Amino acid sequence: MTDMDRILFQLAEILVDKNFEKVIFSFRFDEKYFVRGDYFKKMGQEFPHQNIVYLIRTFPERVYNMDGSKAFSTWTGGLLGVFTKQMEDHNDFHKVWYLEDWAKLKM
């Protein structure tokens, strides 16, 4: 998952001068999630100097289901509890985006 995160952030950095309405996350042409284009641009701008753990754990808060509803919550409270929930959301994002479908292909 971390490798996919790094690739995503590097792609956002490479495309930072481009403008997108949204960036869709799909697996084998099955659209799962999207992020707004302005956030994708912000990721590309922040990646070179921002803490990578911060980028990873806050990413799911900005992910939307294909119907436009928020895919994950924004957590508040104590740092350890918030961090734990954010990382659970991060893992769930990857599972739904590609891991579950990829695992089915391997069976």
pTM of the model: 0.90
| 8 Å CB contact between 46 and 81 | no
Task: Reply yes or no on whether the pLDDT at 107 is more than 70.
Answer: no
pLDDT single digits (tens) 10-54 = 999 999 999 999 999 999 999 999 999 999 999 999 999 999 999
Q: Which two tokens stand for residue 15?
A: 């495309």
Percent of the chain predicted with pLDDT > 70: 98
Please give the Cα distance from 84 to 86 (Å, whole number).
6
Q: How many residues does the chain have?
A: 107
pLDDT single digits (tens) 83-96 = 999 999 999 999 99
Please report the pLDDT score of residue 105 as a whole number.
79
Please give the Cα distance from 91 to 36 (Å, whole number).
20
